[in-house]
A and B are shown apart, each in its own frame.
Chain A
Amino acid sequence: MNTGIPLYYFLILATIMFFVGVYGFLTRRNLITILMSVELILNSVNINFLAFNRYLFPHKLEGLFFSLFVIAVAASEAAVAIAIIINIYRRFTTINVEDVNVMKF
Protein backbone atom coordinates (compact mmCIF):
# COMPACT_ATOMS: atom_id res chain seq x y z
CA MET A 1 0.00 0.00 0.00
CA ASN A 2 1.43 3.36 -0.95
CA THR A 3 -0.52 6.44 -0.05
CA GLY A 4 1.97 8.83 -1.62
CA ILE A 5 2.63 10.49 1.74
CA PRO A 6 5.99 10.01 3.46
CA LEU A 7 6.05 8.63 6.98
CA TYR A 8 7.80 11.81 8.13
CA TYR A 9 4.70 13.91 7.50
CA PHE A 10 2.68 11.83 9.94
CA LEU A 11 5.45 12.00 12.53
CA ILE A 12 5.82 15.78 12.22
CA LEU A 13 2.06 16.24 12.48
CA ALA A 14 1.99 14.08 15.63
CA THR A 15 4.93 16.02 17.08
CA ILE A 16 3.19 19.36 16.57
CA MET A 17 -0.03 18.04 18.10
CA PHE A 18 1.89 16.62 21.08
CA PHE A 19 3.65 19.88 21.83
CA VAL A 20 0.46 21.90 21.43
CA GLY A 21 -0.99 19.59 24.08
CA VAL A 22 2.04 20.21 26.29
CA TYR A 23 1.58 23.96 25.84
CA GLY A 24 -2.02 23.66 26.97
CA PHE A 25 -0.95 21.55 29.92
CA LEU A 26 1.52 24.24 30.99
CA THR A 27 -0.62 27.32 30.52
CA ARG A 28 -4.17 26.27 31.40
CA ARG A 29 -5.50 26.64 34.92
CA ASN A 30 -8.90 25.03 34.56
CA LEU A 31 -8.89 21.30 35.35
CA ILE A 32 -11.15 20.36 32.44
CA THR A 33 -8.99 22.17 29.88
CA ILE A 34 -5.94 20.39 31.33
CA LEU A 35 -7.78 17.12 30.76
CA MET A 36 -8.44 18.19 27.16
CA SER A 37 -4.72 18.84 26.65
CA VAL A 38 -3.98 15.33 27.92
CA GLU A 39 -6.44 13.93 25.38
CA LEU A 40 -4.56 15.81 22.63
CA ILE A 41 -1.27 14.28 23.77
CA LEU A 42 -2.70 10.75 23.83
CA ASN A 43 -4.17 11.21 20.36
CA SER A 44 -0.88 12.32 18.85
CA VAL A 45 0.80 9.22 20.26
CA ASN A 46 -1.89 7.07 18.67
CA ILE A 47 -1.20 8.63 15.27
CA ASN A 48 2.47 7.74 15.70
CA PHE A 49 1.72 4.12 16.57
CA LEU A 50 -0.55 3.64 13.58
CA ALA A 51 1.79 5.34 11.12
CA PHE A 52 4.71 3.18 12.28
CA ASN A 53 2.59 0.06 12.01
CA ARG A 54 1.36 0.88 8.51
CA TYR A 55 4.64 2.08 7.03
CA LEU A 56 7.30 -0.03 8.73
CA PHE A 57 5.62 -3.28 9.82
CA PRO A 58 2.54 -3.75 7.66
CA HIS A 59 2.49 -7.53 8.25
CA LYS A 60 1.90 -7.13 11.99
CA LEU A 61 -0.80 -5.68 14.19
CA GLU A 62 1.13 -4.36 17.20
CA GLY A 63 0.50 -0.67 16.57
CA LEU A 64 -3.21 -1.21 16.09
CA PHE A 65 -3.62 -3.09 19.35
CA PHE A 66 -1.42 -0.71 21.27
CA SER A 67 -3.44 2.28 20.18
CA LEU A 68 -6.64 0.36 20.94
CA PHE A 69 -5.41 -0.12 24.50
CA VAL A 70 -4.30 3.50 24.70
CA ILE A 71 -7.82 4.57 23.72
CA ALA A 72 -9.30 2.32 26.42
CA VAL A 73 -6.94 3.72 29.06
CA ALA A 74 -7.74 7.28 27.93
CA ALA A 75 -11.46 6.60 28.23
CA SER A 76 -11.20 5.24 31.77
CA GLU A 77 -8.82 8.05 32.72
CA ALA A 78 -11.31 10.63 31.46
CA ALA A 79 -14.15 9.01 33.39
CA VAL A 80 -12.24 8.93 36.69
CA ALA A 81 -10.80 12.41 36.16
CA ILE A 82 -14.20 13.93 35.54
CA ALA A 83 -15.59 12.20 38.64
CA ILE A 84 -12.74 13.71 40.66
CA ILE A 85 -13.28 17.13 39.07
CA ILE A 86 -16.98 17.09 39.95
CA ASN A 87 -16.13 16.07 43.50
CA ILE A 88 -13.60 18.91 43.76
CA TYR A 89 -16.18 21.34 42.42
CA ARG A 90 -18.64 20.18 45.07
CA ARG A 91 -16.17 20.91 47.88
CA PHE A 92 -14.44 24.06 46.64
CA THR A 93 -17.03 25.41 44.14
CA THR A 94 -14.17 26.02 41.74
CA ILE A 95 -12.03 23.87 39.48
CA ASN A 96 -9.20 26.34 39.15
CA VAL A 97 -5.98 24.52 40.02
CA GLU A 98 -4.55 27.51 41.86
CA ASP A 99 -7.48 27.73 44.25
CA VAL A 100 -7.47 24.04 45.10
CA ASN A 101 -4.51 23.74 47.43
CA VAL A 102 -5.83 21.71 50.36
CA MET A 103 -5.74 17.94 50.25
CA LYS A 104 -7.70 17.17 53.38
CA PHE A 105 -9.69 19.22 55.84
Chain B
Amino acid sequence: MTSNQLMFILFSAVIIVFSILTVTSQKILRAAVYLLFVLVSTAGLYFMLNYQFLAAVQLTLYAGGIVVLIIFSILLTSHIDLKFESLGWKKSIFSALAVISGAILSIVTILDHKFSATTEAAKEIDMRLIGNSLLSVEKDGYVLPFEVISILLLAAMIAAIVIAKKGAPKKVESRTSKQ
Protein backbone atom coordinates (compact mmCIF):
# COMPACT_ATOMS: atom_id res chain seq x y z
CA MET B 1 0.00 0.00 0.00
CA THR B 2 1.47 3.30 -1.03
CA SER B 3 1.42 6.39 1.16
CA ASN B 4 -1.06 7.95 -1.28
CA GLN B 5 -3.58 5.19 -0.69
CA LEU B 6 -3.03 5.39 3.04
CA MET B 7 -3.75 9.13 2.99
CA PHE B 8 -6.86 8.57 0.89
CA ILE B 9 -8.18 5.98 3.33
CA LEU B 10 -7.47 8.31 6.24
CA PHE B 11 -9.20 11.30 4.63
CA SER B 12 -12.20 9.35 3.46
CA ALA B 13 -12.65 7.70 6.86
CA VAL B 14 -12.55 11.12 8.54
CA ILE B 15 -15.00 12.53 5.99
CA ILE B 16 -17.52 9.71 6.32
CA VAL B 17 -17.39 9.41 10.10
CA PHE B 18 -17.54 13.12 10.80
CA SER B 19 -20.19 13.88 8.20
CA ILE B 20 -22.42 11.25 9.82
CA LEU B 21 -21.68 12.81 13.21
CA THR B 22 -22.48 16.26 11.79
CA VAL B 23 -26.01 15.25 10.89
CA THR B 24 -26.69 13.09 13.95
CA SER B 25 -25.01 14.96 16.82
CA GLN B 26 -27.43 16.19 19.47
CA LYS B 27 -25.34 19.22 20.37
CA ILE B 28 -25.33 21.95 17.77
CA LEU B 29 -21.89 23.40 18.50
CA ARG B 30 -20.30 19.96 18.25
CA ALA B 31 -22.01 19.45 14.90
CA ALA B 32 -20.36 22.64 13.63
CA VAL B 33 -16.94 21.47 14.79
CA TYR B 34 -17.44 18.09 13.10
CA LEU B 35 -18.35 19.97 9.92
CA LEU B 36 -15.02 21.78 10.23
CA PHE B 37 -13.19 18.43 10.30
CA VAL B 38 -15.06 17.28 7.19
CA LEU B 39 -14.15 20.47 5.31
CA VAL B 40 -10.48 20.29 6.29
CA SER B 41 -10.14 16.70 5.13
CA THR B 42 -11.87 17.63 1.88
CA ALA B 43 -9.09 20.18 1.43
CA GLY B 44 -6.66 17.31 2.01
CA LEU B 45 -8.31 15.39 -0.82
CA TYR B 46 -7.84 18.41 -3.09
CA PHE B 47 -4.15 18.46 -2.19
CA MET B 48 -3.99 14.76 -3.09
CA LEU B 49 -5.54 15.49 -6.48
CA ASN B 50 -2.82 18.13 -6.99
CA TYR B 51 -5.13 21.16 -6.97
CA GLN B 52 -3.21 23.26 -4.46
CA PHE B 53 -4.99 26.53 -5.26
CA LEU B 54 -8.44 25.08 -4.71
CA ALA B 55 -7.33 23.39 -1.51
CA ALA B 56 -6.12 26.74 -0.21
CA VAL B 57 -9.44 28.34 -1.23
CA GLN B 58 -11.29 25.54 0.55
CA LEU B 59 -9.26 26.03 3.73
CA THR B 60 -9.58 29.80 3.86
CA LEU B 61 -13.15 30.16 2.65
CA TYR B 62 -14.90 27.13 4.09
CA ALA B 63 -12.86 26.27 7.15
CA GLY B 64 -11.93 29.86 7.89
CA GLY B 65 -15.02 31.73 6.78
CA ILE B 66 -18.20 29.72 6.64
CA VAL B 67 -17.60 27.59 9.73
CA VAL B 68 -16.75 30.68 11.79
CA LEU B 69 -19.91 32.35 10.47
CA ILE B 70 -21.98 29.29 11.40
CA ILE B 71 -20.46 29.12 14.89
CA PHE B 72 -21.15 32.82 15.44
CA SER B 73 -24.76 32.43 14.39
CA ILE B 74 -25.11 29.38 16.67
CA LEU B 75 -23.84 31.44 19.57
CA LEU B 76 -26.24 34.25 18.68
CA THR B 77 -29.34 32.10 18.31
CA SER B 78 -29.14 29.21 20.74
CA HIS B 79 -27.87 28.37 24.16
CA ILE B 80 -24.37 26.95 24.08
CA ASP B 81 -25.23 23.50 25.39
CA LEU B 82 -28.63 23.22 23.82
CA LYS B 83 -29.60 19.63 23.16
CA PHE B 84 -32.05 18.71 20.43
CA GLU B 85 -34.83 16.42 21.45
CA SER B 86 -34.31 13.13 19.66
CA LEU B 87 -36.61 12.84 16.70
CA GLY B 88 -39.13 10.05 16.43
CA TRP B 89 -37.91 6.64 15.32
CA LYS B 90 -40.41 6.66 12.45
CA LYS B 91 -38.97 9.77 10.85
CA SER B 92 -35.34 8.74 11.28
CA ILE B 93 -35.92 5.19 10.02
CA PHE B 94 -37.82 6.28 6.93
CA SER B 95 -35.28 9.00 6.14
CA ALA B 96 -32.45 6.50 6.56
CA LEU B 97 -34.22 4.01 4.32
CA ALA B 98 -34.73 6.60 1.58
CA VAL B 99 -31.16 7.82 1.83
CA ILE B 100 -29.60 4.34 1.88
CA SER B 101 -31.63 3.17 -1.11
CA GLY B 102 -30.67 6.33 -3.00
CA ALA B 103 -27.01 5.84 -2.15
CA ILE B 104 -27.06 2.19 -3.23
CA LEU B 105 -28.77 3.12 -6.50
CA SER B 106 -26.18 5.82 -7.24
CA ILE B 107 -23.20 3.64 -6.34
CA VAL B 108 -24.46 0.76 -8.49
CA THR B 109 -24.95 3.15 -11.40
CA ILE B 110 -21.47 4.62 -10.95
CA LEU B 111 -19.81 1.21 -10.76
CA ASP B 112 -21.73 0.11 -13.84
CA HIS B 113 -20.46 2.99 -15.94
CA LYS B 114 -17.14 2.75 -17.76
CA PHE B 115 -15.35 6.08 -17.73
CA SER B 116 -12.93 6.69 -20.58
CA ALA B 117 -10.10 9.13 -19.98
CA THR B 118 -8.56 11.28 -22.70
CA THR B 119 -5.11 10.39 -23.87
CA GLU B 120 -3.89 13.97 -23.95
CA ALA B 121 -1.02 14.91 -21.68
CA ALA B 122 -1.83 16.46 -18.35
CA LYS B 123 -1.37 20.20 -18.05
CA GLU B 124 0.75 21.69 -15.33
CA ILE B 125 -1.60 23.91 -13.28
CA ASP B 126 0.07 26.93 -11.79
CA MET B 127 -1.31 30.17 -10.46
CA ARG B 128 -0.42 32.10 -13.62
CA LEU B 129 -2.49 29.75 -15.76
CA ILE B 130 -5.49 29.98 -13.43
CA GLY B 131 -5.37 33.77 -13.35
CA ASN B 132 -4.92 34.08 -17.09
CA SER B 133 -7.84 31.82 -17.91
CA LEU B 134 -10.07 33.47 -15.30
CA LEU B 135 -9.71 36.81 -17.09
CA SER B 136 -9.38 35.58 -20.65
CA VAL B 137 -12.05 36.31 -23.26
CA GLU B 138 -10.77 33.70 -25.72
CA LYS B 139 -11.55 30.01 -25.88
CA ASP B 140 -11.29 28.33 -22.47
CA GLY B 141 -11.58 31.74 -20.85
CA TYR B 142 -13.88 32.33 -17.91
CA VAL B 143 -14.29 36.09 -17.77
CA LEU B 144 -18.10 36.04 -17.99
CA PRO B 145 -18.70 33.67 -15.01
CA PHE B 146 -16.00 35.56 -13.14
CA GLU B 147 -17.83 38.86 -13.56
CA VAL B 148 -21.19 37.27 -12.77
CA ILE B 149 -19.82 35.75 -9.59
CA SER B 150 -18.33 39.09 -8.55
CA ILE B 151 -21.74 40.77 -8.96
CA LEU B 152 -23.34 37.89 -7.05
CA LEU B 153 -20.89 38.32 -4.17
CA LEU B 154 -21.54 42.06 -4.04
CA ALA B 155 -25.32 41.49 -4.10
CA ALA B 156 -25.06 38.84 -1.37
CA MET B 157 -23.00 41.17 0.81
CA ILE B 158 -25.49 44.02 0.46
CA ALA B 159 -28.42 41.63 0.97
CA ALA B 160 -26.90 40.19 4.15
CA ILE B 161 -26.39 43.68 5.58
CA VAL B 162 -29.90 44.84 4.63
CA ILE B 163 -31.62 41.73 5.98
CA ALA B 164 -29.71 41.56 9.25
CA LYS B 165 -30.00 45.29 9.97
CA LYS B 166 -32.12 45.87 13.01
CA GLY B 167 -35.63 47.06 12.22
CA ALA B 168 -34.58 49.25 9.32
CA PRO B 169 -37.79 49.29 7.23
CA LYS B 170 -40.06 50.40 10.08
CA LYS B 171 -37.81 53.31 11.04
CA VAL B 172 -37.73 54.59 7.47
CA GLU B 173 -41.52 54.41 7.25
CA SER B 174 -42.07 56.29 10.49
CA ARG B 175 -39.59 58.99 9.48
CA THR B 176 -41.25 59.56 6.13
CA SER B 177 -44.71 59.61 7.68
CA LYS B 178 -43.62 62.28 10.18
CA GLN B 179 -42.33 64.47 7.39
Where the two chains meet, the residues of A that have a C-beta atom closer than 8 Å to any C-beta of B are 1, 3-5, 7-13, 15-24, 26-30, 32-33, 35-37, 39-40, 43, 46-47, 50-51, 54-61, 64-65, 67-69, 71-80, 82-87, 89-90, 95
Bound Cα distance A74, B63 (Å): 13
Could you list some 14 contacts between A and B, CB below 8 A? A3-B49, A9-B8, A20-B23, A22-B102, A27-B95, A32-B70, A39-B62, A40-B22, A40-B35, A58-B121, A60-B123, A61-B133, A75-B156, A76-B155
Residue of B nearest to A88 (CB): B77
Contact A3/B4 with A19-B99, A39-B66, A65-B142 known, Cβ cut-off 8 Å: yes
B42 touches A68 (CB 8 A): no
Where the two chains meet, the residues of B that have a C-beta atom closer than 8 Å to any C-beta of A are 2, 4-5, 8, 12, 15-16, 19-20, 22-24, 28, 31-32, 35, 38-39, 42, 45-46, 48-51, 53-54, 57-58, 61-62, 65-66, 69-70, 73-74, 76-78, 84, 87, 91-92, 95-96, 98-100, 102-103, 106-107, 110-111, 115-118, 120-123, 125, 129-130, 133-134, 140, 142, 145, 149, 152-153, 155-157, 159-161, 163-164, 166
A83 CB contact (under 8 Å) in B8, B35, B98, B164: B164
B103 CB contact (under 8 Å) in A5, A19, A39, A60: A19
